[in-house]
């Protein structure tokens, strides 16, 4: 229990089919012009408490963990865990963008791939892909974006192994990148999965892979600074296709030392009310200051997913996004 910060996690099963329930006037709008909820570091709900620290982390963190594992490891767990719901629960809650940080463990002779966020997960990538498929088979009109990223320790051979598994598991459900992904098109063709892959040379070799999806990561410990960053990115202008606005706060060493009894969960829940205000002010669409995917931590808290889905009610084709100067774009503290 986290005292007064403990917030109930309410799985809204009404959101499990939300794409199929969108009004018909949104069926021919590309998914990159709709508002889609996402989870940041999707797989951290199952980090392995006995796992070694990723080799990608700093030498200092690895050294301290080897010298004082009983002290350092629990601290790493507290600040690495960004989600509490399983991948199936996240999908059922309405999440449609999954942030997969994929890795191969150093000195592991097997071809097994895991997810990583400082620590490795207990589950393999193949098992989770099969879990996503199982969910999709019972939700035939829902579409999921899988963002495969980071690839710590993956060789060319392991990349080919991963891509082969993706194709084998999802088969005809994979949407080719030359398709304009409207719901109408996806439903007609039986496509349910869009896979973005953060390895440009391999994307060119496989029509089923989409380019890496830009992620607006503020790298901020304070909500005000994070929102200022997101507003600055909006003024620069959104990418033409899929992109993510991350409302996840990020700790650093100074913040952790200043909050010895803190955790990423406490940090997130304290700031959710302010982030919620910003989310509800956004507009989806193709115009410069519009949003697309909004990803957050601990997505089962504070109606985050519902708020992101409801932004689609603001769409009035062809005028997707409020005109500049319409007011109300800022969050006051």
- Catalytic residue set: 40, 117
CA 253 to CA 38: how far, in whole Å?
26
> Hey, what are 195's tokens?
């896979």
CA 231 to CA 226: how far, in whole Å?
9
Contact 82, 264 (CB under 8 A): yes
CA 243 to CA 234: how far, in whole Å?
12
Nearest Cα to Cα of residue 183 among 15, 19, 27:
27
| Chain centroid to CA 78 | 19
Q: Strand 114-117 vs strand 119-124: parallel, antiparallel, or unpaired?
A: antiparallel
> Hey, what are 323's tokens?
């005109």
With vertex at residue 11, the alpha carbon angle to CA 99 and CA 21, rounded to the nearest 5 degrees, is: 80
With vertex at residue 315, the alpha carbon angle to CA 88 and CA 142, rounded to the nearest 5 degrees, is: 25
Burial state string for 37-74 with b = 16 or more CB within 10 A and e = fewer than 16: bbbbbbbbbbbeeebbbbeebeeebbebbeeeeeebbe
């Amino acid at each position: 229990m986290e005292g007064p910060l403990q917030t109930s996690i309410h799985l809204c099963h009404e959101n499990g089919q939300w794409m199929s329930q969108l009004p018909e006037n949104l069926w021919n709008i590309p998914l990159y012009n709709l508002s889609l909820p996402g989870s940041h570091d999707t797989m951290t709900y199952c980090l392995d408490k006995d796992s070694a620290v990723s080799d990608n982390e700093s030498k200092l963190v690895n050294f301290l963990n080897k010298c004082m594992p009983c002290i350092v490891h629990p601290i790493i767990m507290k600040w690495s865990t960004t989600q509490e719901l399983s991948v199936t629960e996240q999908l059922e809650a309405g999440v449609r963008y999954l942030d997969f940080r994929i890795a191969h463990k150093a000195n592991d002779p097997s071809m097994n791939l895991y997810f990583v966020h400082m620590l490795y997960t207990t589950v393999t990538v193949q098992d989770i892909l099969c879990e996503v498929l199982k969910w999709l088979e019972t939700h035939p009109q829902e579409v999921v974006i899988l963002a495969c990223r980071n690839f710590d320790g993956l060789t060319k051979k392991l990349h080919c192994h991963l891509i082969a598994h993706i194709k084998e598991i999802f088969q005809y459900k994979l949407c080719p990148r030359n398709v304009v992904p409207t719901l109408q098109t996806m439903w007609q063709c039986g496509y349910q999965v869009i896979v973005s892959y953060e390895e440009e040379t391999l994307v060119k070799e496989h029509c089923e892979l989409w380019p890496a999806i830009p992620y607006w990561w503020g790298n901020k410990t304070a909500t005000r600074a994070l929102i200022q960053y997101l507003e600055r990115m909006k003024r620069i202008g959104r990418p033409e296709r899929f992109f993510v606005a991350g409302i996840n706060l990020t700790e650093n060493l100074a913040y952790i030392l200043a909050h010895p009894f803190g955790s990423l969960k406490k940090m997130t829940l304290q700031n959710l009310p302010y982030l919620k205000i910003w989310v509800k002010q956004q507009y989806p669409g193709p115009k410069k200051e519009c949003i697309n995917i909004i990803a957050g931590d601990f997505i089962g808290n504070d109606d985050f997913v519902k708020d992101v889905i409801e932004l689609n009610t603001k769409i009035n084709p062809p005028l997707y996004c409020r005109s500049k100067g319409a007011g109300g774009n800022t969050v006051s503290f």
